[in-house]
Amino acid sequence: MISDCPRVRFAPSPTGYLHVGGLRTALYNYLFAKRNNGKFILRIEDTDRARFVEGAVENLISTLKWCGLDYDEGPAKGGEYGPYVQSERLAIYKEKCEELIAQKKAYYCFCTPERLTELRERQQKTTNQSKYDKHCLNLSKEEIADNLAKGLPYVVRLNVEPDVIIAFDDIVRGHVEFNSNTVDDQVLLKSDGYPTYHLANVIDDHMMKITHVIRGEEWLSSTPKHVLLYDFFGWEKPVFAHLPLLLNPDKSKLSKRQGDVAVEDYRTKGFLKEALLNFVALLGWNAGDDKEYFSLQEMVESFSLERVNKSGAVFNVEKLTWLNFEHLRNLPDAEVLQALRDALADSEFKDGVYTDEYLLHVITAMKERVSFIKEYIEKSPYFFKAPESFDADVIKKRWREDTPKHLAKLVENFSALVNPVKEDYEQALHKTAEELEIGNGKLIHTIRLSVSGMGVGPGLYDLLVILGKDEVISRINKAVQTIKIQ
């Protein structure tokens, strides 16, 4: 049963870019919160100082904002249960660690790195599992006090009792059990005074009143340690839901070695946030039917954790591209217009002057032919500049010795038109073909080549109307002068 106001969190580490797997975790948390009138919290887990990347927090927040995943509590926004950055909560972790030590649920460990390495190497020769051997658990109070007084480096470890079944229920995985003999005496507090993920995660989730922990499958094996900590503290456990792995097409775990994994990479390539969110939502979840196109609001209305799959989800860029086409096609023209202007400002056509009316005609003509905003420019540069070269294959296939004569006659008939619309161009072309006693195709293909430099594109008469009579005639004349057949 879902509580009246569930609280979920996205808790990334600021180690660089936002991974698409992280985006999916954030999205599922967001959808669950919004679907159930709950709260979506952002918490920054920056306790691994060796991996901390300057500017990563700002980048994470910026990326979430771009995606439209607005959090209710977190850095820069604040909230009732802050601070929301773990490095600002160190005193809390230390205090809670001391409570565990006092209850003998945790203990000081003064083992040197050399001893731990030797222990690990010895165990690996005899068993597949490497675990701490509880060497420091039996230190006397006097030994501990003496070591602390000497300033010896130490960590604090979780005291895991042997032969205990650690069980919990997972919305995605069902009932899960671990034998405590497979669980290591996890380090809770590191020698630098910072907590490990396991300690800070549990304390923060409890203190921030998190009701549901929705995270990637890679954390499933850590969950028994978290369950023990909840039990040791005497706290109520949240509901767990571990999401399936993201896979490359060869079923290996998604990694940068086989392609882009950063949200920023896909944004830079021109993928729309609407398409990216739609795509990552389908990586492990479905609405119970064949529907694949979703707006963010439709996802909110349809989402449930019970429909998240156990098996890994393959990251298929072709499907993402198809979704981008669908979302771009359905964007309001005003949004496409602004995006096209932004793209033009970064292109070789940045100095061109184009009215909104003209660009909206271009958008209408090309809408069914582009998957990205940039393709309005890449696939139809002739809307922004007369062609300076012509497709050699089309010339070879379509351009004949009598083509210049045919086009001259067409130009004559086009010149007689006054403020022509599509039908006027079509009638003029048919009239020219009849006068020359040739098929329409001999004119259609060569005029397209003349005005665009290409053999494919939007409807010919749409193209002619958008360019305008004077520009069309100018381009035809230039093509006749430029194109020479061998």
**pLDDT band (50, 70, 90) for residue 231:** very high
pTM of the model: 0.93
**Two tokens, residue 205:** 């989730």
Predicted local confidence at residue 49, as pLDDT = 83
Predicted local confidence at residue 255, as pLDDT = 77
Of 124-128, 300-304, 421-425, give the lowest mean pLDDT range: 124-128
Q: What is the pLDDT of residues 304-346, one digit of tens each?
A: 999 999 999 999 999 999 999 999 999 999 999 999 999 999 9
Q: What is the pLDDT of residues 235-270, one digit of tens each?
A: 999 999 999 999 988 888 887 666 678 999 999 999
* CB contact burial 97-128 (16+ within 10 A = b; e otherwise): beebbeeebbbbbbbeeeebeebeeeeeeeee
Residue of 87, 31, 67, 86 lying closest to 262 (CA atoms): 67
Task: Supply the Cα-derived Rg of the chain in whole angstroms.
Answer: 32
Predicted local confidence at residue 292, as pLDDT = 97
**pLDDT band (50, 70, 90) for residue 84:** very high
Decide if pLDDT at 136 tops 90: yes
Q: Which residues are catalytic?
A: 256
Q: What is the CATH number of domain 392-482?
A: 1.10.10.350
Q: What is the CATH number of domain 89-243?
A: 3.40.50.620
Q: What is the pLDDT of residues 168-199, one digit of tens each?
A: 999 999 999 999 999 999 999 999 999 999 99
Predicted local confidence at residue 258, as pLDDT = 63
Q: What SS3 class is residue 159?
A: coil
**pLDDT band (50, 70, 90) for residue 4:** confident
The CA distance from 393 to 398, in Å, is 8
**pLDDT band (50, 70, 90) for residue 52:** confident
Which superfamily does CATH assign the domain made up of 7-77+246-317 to? HUPs (3.40.50.620)
**pLDDT band (50, 70, 90) for residue 221:** very high
Q: What is the pLDDT of residues 382-407, one digit of tens each?
A: 999 999 999 999 999 999 999 999 99
Structure-derived torsion over alpha carbons of residues 474, 476, 481, 484, reported in degrees to the nearest 10: 160
Rounded alpha-carbon distances, angstroms, from residue 228 to 8, 106, 202, 221, 231: 21, 11, 10, 13, 5
**Two tokens, residue 197:** 């993920």
Question: Which residues on adjacent β-strands are paired with residue 19?
Answer: 262
**pLDDT band (50, 70, 90) for residue 486:** low
